[in-house]
Amino acid sequence: MCDLPKNLGGDDSGPTALELAVMAIADCAATIYADVAKKSNIELTKLEVTAEAVKADDAPVIKSVDIKVKVASKARESLLKACLRRTEANCPVLSIYKEPVPINVTLEVESSE
């Protein structure tokens, strides 16, 4: 469940929708990186992905997102960098933000009798 912070009229009982969007970026990058590494026979002993959003001062929108992928592995750094490039190319959530898709919004009103 999403919520707003108390200073914005919510109960702060969950993340905001914007926070969930940033979490989705980090989670997708982690999932795809792990999958790419596994398919490349690269054993990871640690995988940590963080995403930090930079918000605009004058509007509740994201200006940019910094993603940090931290790995531990016996594999060569060049192979780990190749996994990152493949992750960027194949992560569907990253694709949405890099190449925005058209979004169609409609309203359906039901009777409240």
The model's pLDDT over 13-22, given as tens digits with 9 standing for 90+, comes to 888 888 899 9
Residue 33: is it exposed, middle or buried by C-beta count within 10 angstroms (0-12/13-18/19+)?
buried
The rounded distance, in Å, linking the Cα atoms of 96 and 15 is: 21
55 close to 62: Cβ distance less than 8 angstroms: yes
Mean pLDDT of 24-42: 97
The model's pLDDT over 46-104, given as tens digits with 9 standing for 90+, comes to 999 999 999 888 877 888 999 999 999 999 999 999 999 999 999 999 998 888 789 99
DSSP code of 74?
S
The CATH class that applies to domain 6-98 reads alpha beta
- Can you give the residue ranges of every domain in the chain? 6-98
